[in-house]
Amino acid sequence: MENTLNKSLQVITTVELLKHWQDHRALTRRTIDAFPEKAFFNHTIGGMRPFSEMVMELLAIAAPGLKEIASGITAPFNENIEHGNQKAKILELWDNATEEINTYWSQIKEEQFQQTIKLFGQYEGTVWSSIFYFIDNEIHHRGQGYVYLRSLGIEPPAFYERN
Amino acid sequence: MENTLNKSLQVITTVELLKHWQDHRALTRRTIDAFPEKAFFNHTIGGMRPFSEMVMELLAIAAPGLKEIASGITAPFNENIEHGNQKAKILELWDNATEEINTYWSQIKEEQFQQTIKLFGQYEGTVWSSIFYFIDNEIHHRGQGYVYLRSLGIEPPAFYERN
């Protein structure tokens, strides 16, 4: 998307927000990769979901949510994409989403960020707050993944390293 | 701070970003409050810090970091404020920080968000990326606090409820 606004008058530009998100997604990818294959699908604490299920939620939100923002077409929320309990398959879905996010982002107009949308037919808010929710929710669950890794005796990737 | 910019041309305004952060901080406050007194200071998983120590880090970053952005005066990073292992004392520090953040925020000029700063004399980046780091780091550690609570058999506050 062409940035037509004066950057010095923006808190954050659309280009910066996309990079911020993709840098977080690169860190989440490294977090997924740090899990042993079995633990990714089985390890839990306190009755919570295994990290793989949290990641499937993130995948159900990110590219589909952004597609809806870009196209205006509502689709139902779907966390149940087939992955056959294979981490490599989920990493492939992750990489596909990375490309889709870049594509849909380029179709969103700058003036849309302050407009209201009802995502997946049920979550109403501004476009910016929806995208912030996508990012915040990813950070939240990745932080939980860090505890899972630590409880397995594995050091998670550095939080401050993003790309 | 007076918002002199056309809101429809902003991804997010300074007023919205402050509210976004304070809403997250309200959720973190409820997360602190959900911990039993002892577990807040003692409970750990996988060799990580107890949640109280993560919260002291958040307190060392938020108001002091914002004060530095507003004033331009660098101060050393300090996580060791006296709290006597009392949750009520840390909640009081949290509430004081809430007020300080509002005060310092009102002193930051809109054009500063794209400027570069070296926080605590060592972390260089734009003002917006520094503030996003404060928020992201809080979400990250609060997510870890959620796992601590679940492992104690306690249901954390709803992630999507912010104020």
Residue B45, min C-alpha distance to chain A (Å): 6
Partner-chain contact A114 B10, CB within 8 Å: yes
Whole-number pLDDT of residue A8: 59
pLDDT at A2 over 50: no
Can you tell me the distance from the alpha carbon of B8 to that of A68, in angstroms, rounded to the nearest whole number? 20
In the CATH hierarchy, which fold is given to the domain comprising B31-151? Four Helix Bundle (Hemerythrin (Met), subunit A) (1.20.120)
Residue A143 and residue B139 in contact, taking contact as beta carbons nearer than 8 Å? yes
The SS3 call for residue A155 is: coil
What are residue A117's phi and psi, to 5 degrees?
-140, 155
Whole-number pLDDT of residue A75: 85
By CB atoms closer than 10 A (0-12, 13-18, 19+), residue B38 is exposed
Kindly provide the residue ranges of all beta strands, DSSP E only, lying in chain A, ordered along the sequence.
116-119, 123-126
Does the beta carbon of A137 lie under 8 angstroms from any beta carbon of chain B? yes
DSSP class of residue A40?
H
Parse chain B into domains and list their residue ranges. 31-151
Residue of A5, A141, A142 lying closest to B9 (CB–CB)? A5
pLDDT at A154 over 90: yes
Residue B120, min C-alpha distance to chain A (Å): 16
Reported as a pLDDT band with limits 50, 70 and 90, residue B161 is: confident
Question: Cβ contacts of residue A8 below 8 Å, gap of 6+?
Answer: B111, B114
Whole-number pLDDT of residue A162: 77
Higher-pLDDT residue of A76, A12: A12
Residue of A45, A110, A139 lying closest to B140 (CB–CB)? A139
pLDDT at A1 over 70: no
Mind listing the pLDDT tens digit for each residue in A26-60? 999 999 999 999 999 999 999 999 999 999 999 99
Can you tell me the distance from the alpha carbon of B140 to that of B31, in angstroms, rounded to the nearest whole number? 13
Residues of chain B contacting A153 with CB distance shorter than 8 Å:
46
Partner-chain contact A48 B7, CB within 8 Å: no
* Mean pLDDT, rounded, for A107-121: 94
Residues of chain A contacting B17 with CB distance shorter than 8 Å:
11
Residues of chain A contacting B14 with CB distance shorter than 8 Å:
11
Whole-number pLDDT of residue B2: 43
* Mean pLDDT, rounded, for B136-158: 98
pLDDT at A80 over 80: yes
By CB atoms closer than 10 A (0-12, 13-18, 19+), residue A162 is middle
Mind listing the pLDDT tens digit for each residue in B94-120? 999 999 999 999 999 999 999 999 999
Reported as a pLDDT band with limits 50, 70 and 90, residue B76 is: confident
- What's chain A's average pLDDT? 94
Reported as a pLDDT band with limits 50, 70 and 90, residue B1 is: very low
Give A7-13+32-151's CATH code, choosing from 1.20.120.450, 3.60.20.10, 1.10.3720.10, 1.10.760.10: 1.20.120.450
Residues of chain B contacting A47 with CB distance shorter than 8 Å:
150
Give Cα A84 to chain centroid, integer Å.
21
Residue of A128, A142, A147 lying closest to B46 (CB–CB)? A147
Share above pLDDT 70 across residues of chain B, in percent, rounded to a whole number: 94
* Mean pLDDT, rounded, for B78-97: 95
Which residue on chain B is closest to A116 by alpha carbon? B8
pLDDT at B33 over 80: yes
Whole-number pLDDT of residue A76: 85
